[in-house]
Structure 1
Amino acid sequence: MKRSFSKLLIAGAFSSLIVANGAYADSNEWKEQSLDAWIDGKAESVLLFNTHLSAFDINTDVEQGVVTLTGKVDRSVDKALAEELVESLQGVQDVNNHLVVVNKQQQQDSALINSWTDTKVATVVKTKLLLESEVSGSAINVEVEEGVVTLAGEVDSAAEKALAIKIAQNTNDVEDVVSKLAVTNS
């Protein structure tokens, strides 16, 4: 996480310096570099905040919106989860997944696949809620079982509740949404 903030800080300072000096005043290069740094920071953050991955073993590099993942993961499901999380971020054009699975033991049973899908859905829904400024994402608990998302917690208004439900409904692999959200202010 420290590395993400450092990259964002350096990118911001570099962009400001370039604009101030007029070196790229007529060029979009500084904008592309700033966008890449912003995407890199978001990618590292989403991997870091995911409890199912060891983000310290995953490196991200971004060039023109294309994120390259390198490093090591324990299972193929971790490799797929990392790619899915990064791919869902706004501004990402493509993901080159060069993660190496160091534990070759792979189970193909449907229970594991369903569990992974539910974990992925929960992570994506929670991330979307946290990134939406009109929703108190940290106050909403997300649970998923066999594609059914359950939202629980407290929100400030009926509109915030409706937005949270719509965000969950618009997520891939969601079969249904159950709302246990309580509106605290009318």
Structure 2
Amino acid sequence: MHHTDEDARLAELAREELVLHIMDMERVRVSVEHGVVTLRGTVASEVERQNAVTTVSAIHGVHTVKNDLRIDDEDENTVGEYIDDTLITTAVKGKLLAETGFKSFSVSVETNQGVVTLTGTVDKFEHVSLAELVARTVDGVKTVVNRLQYEP
């Protein structure tokens, strides 16, 4: 694939992934040159800023992410919101362990402004949806983004 085509594909993938993690994509610009993704614009918080880099870095074909995102102080998360996200993450992890009976699994839980993202692998197909259902029962969870993979 020609670099320009590959860069265009990576830019589109980055935009699609960021829509899931950043509320206001109108304020974020993505450019790609030779697999180096540059993020410019403003986001609401440091958590969103780091989340953007983590998200884009995980895309196959991305070599480096240059983070030129600025934090818009008017929208910055309060300490209370950050603590709430930490409590939600802890509660989701605890419920997954206590209520699902998972024996062999590797699940990562991240929370940003009440949006819980589940990533990793489970060894039973039904655990993909079960994990999401359990996460939705935790107080404070607004949405669950389920990226769990089934690997027998």
Q: TM-score, normalised by structure 1?
A: 0.47
Change (3 A) 1:101 1:42: same
- Superposed CA offset, 1:121-155 (max 9, x none): 94362xx89xxxxx9xx97837398xxxxx9x9xx
Do the aligned residues in 2 keep the contact of 1:36 with 1:63 (CA within 8 Å)? yes
- Pick the structure with more strand per residue: 2
Give, in whole Å, the separation in 2 of the partners of 1:113 and 1:122: 9
State the identity %: 21
* 1:141 counterpart residue number: 132
Match of 2:20 in 1: 49
Alpha-carbon distance in structure 1 between the residues aligned to 2:42 and 2:57: 18
SS, match of residue 38 in structure 1: helix
Aligned residue for 1:37? 8
Tell me how many residue pairs correspond in the alignment: 113
CA RMSD, Structure 1 to Structure 2 (Å): 4.0
**Which amino acid letter does the alignment assign opposite residue 118 of structure 1?**
E
Amino acid at match of 2:110: D
Poorly superposed stretches of 4+, deviation over 4 Å? 104-110
Which whole-Å deviations, capped at 9, do the CAs of 1:76-117 have from their partners, x for residues lacking one? 111111111111111110100101111175656872673687
1:102 equivalenced with 2:72 (yes/no): yes
Unaligned 5+ runs, structure 2: 90-108, 139-143
Secondary structure of 1:89 counterpart: coil
Tell me the alpha carbon deviations over residues 57-89 of structure 1, each in whole angstroms, 9 at most, x when there is no partner: 111000010100001111111111111111111
Which residue number in structure 2 is paired with residue 80 of structure 1?
A: 50
Report Cα offsets for 1:24-62 as digits up to 9, x if no partner. xxxxxx611111111000000111233x43112111000
Higher relative helix content: 1
> Which residue in 2 is equivalent to 1:180?
none
Task: State whether structure 2 residue 91 is matched by structure 1 residue 119.
Answer: no
- Give me the whole-angstrom Cα distance separating, in 2, the residues matched to 1:94 and 1:66: 5
1:91 paired to 2:82: no
